[in-house]
Amino acid sequence: MTENEFRQGPAGGYQPHQQPYPYSNPLFQPPPPKKKGSRLALIIGSTTLAAALVGGVTGAAVAGLDSSASATTSVSAQPTAAQSTDATSAAAKVLPSVVQVTTRTSQGELLGSGVIISADGRIITNAHVVAGAEGPVTVTLSDGKQYQATVLGSDAKADIAVLQAQGASGLTAARLGDSSTVKVGQEVLAIGSPGGLQNTVTEGIVSATNRRLSDFAQRQTDPRARQTSDESSAAPSYTAIQTDAAINHGNSGGALVTTAGQVIGINSALYNPARSEDAGNIGIGFAIPVNDAKAIADRITG
């Protein structure tokens, strides 16, 4: 691995005690570093497989996490009174619709997030959050109630998967917004389970729209990176909303939300100039526009 390689990693799950970035193929190529010795990595999700892609997009299992932490909600930044009111109201509306997703694979336990889209337990998450699932996955509601869920299908390229919670009814479905109307500078919240800390809320703005993640992959120039380019065909490729709201390992599959409480994106990746699986947010995160996510989910469940 050279200084200029991007390595694929999950934004969804955090998985300790495993080799970081289990995927061998470099996914994205960053601009040349200013200082020798620095590395840039695009974390699709979180520390994964180590866990699995944001389920963090890097893995998912969090060792030694106190279960009481799941009840904690935190909002970043120092907003004005009006902004605080909007953020508080939006968080209250959407938190019941965001779940924690726990996936067991042959390589360990992955942890990510998901968004409820129907009262009977239909859930959208990232494909990398449930990749390699062995049997049902576990979804945990914001109030701690758990369901077993089956994976109805997934699209690895679009990084979208659909789950069905077994025996669920009366769940709080998220209000889906129109991602085609998203504007740069718009205030947003990211909701999910970074590091296994369920019900975490962070605040920021939309930094850019129509970011083509496949453009990063096309910038690969390192000869050693090309040695494994046959694996790049499985890399996610979609047009994303860019945000500076903190997205970390475990946020994969969670919600990007407007201050009106409408979901406009499914959090999927973060861009990080570090090589450690424990690296975190630097203000460059990506979410799949909800219009695209919903269309793909409808096609998957057909």
Which CATH topology does 1-302 take?
Answer: Thrombin, subunit H (2.40.10)
Sign of the C-alpha dihedral, residues 144, 203, 51, 159? positive
pLDDT value of position 275:
55
pLDDT value of position 271:
83
Euclidean distance between CA atoms 105 and 21, whole angstroms? 15
pLDDT value of position 62:
32
Which residues of the chain fall short of a pLDDT of 70?
A: 1-85, 215-235, 273-280
Q: pTM of the entire structure? A: 0.73
Closest CA to 121 of 151, 153, 163, 161: 163
Using H for helix, E for strand and C for coil, what is the string for 276-301? CCCCCCCCCEEEEEHHHHHHHHHHHH
pLDDT value of position 103:
96
Euclidean distance between CA atoms 130 and 77, whole angstroms? 31
pLDDT value of position 80:
52
Asked whether the beta carbons of 79 and 93 are under 8 A apart, the reply is no
Q: Which residues are catalytic?
A: 128, 159, 252
Q: What is the DSSP letter of 246?
A: -
Phi-psi region of 195 (alpha: psi -120 to 50; beta: other; left: phi over 0): left
pLDDT value of position 281:
73
**Beta strand segments in 156-199, E:** 160-165, 187-192
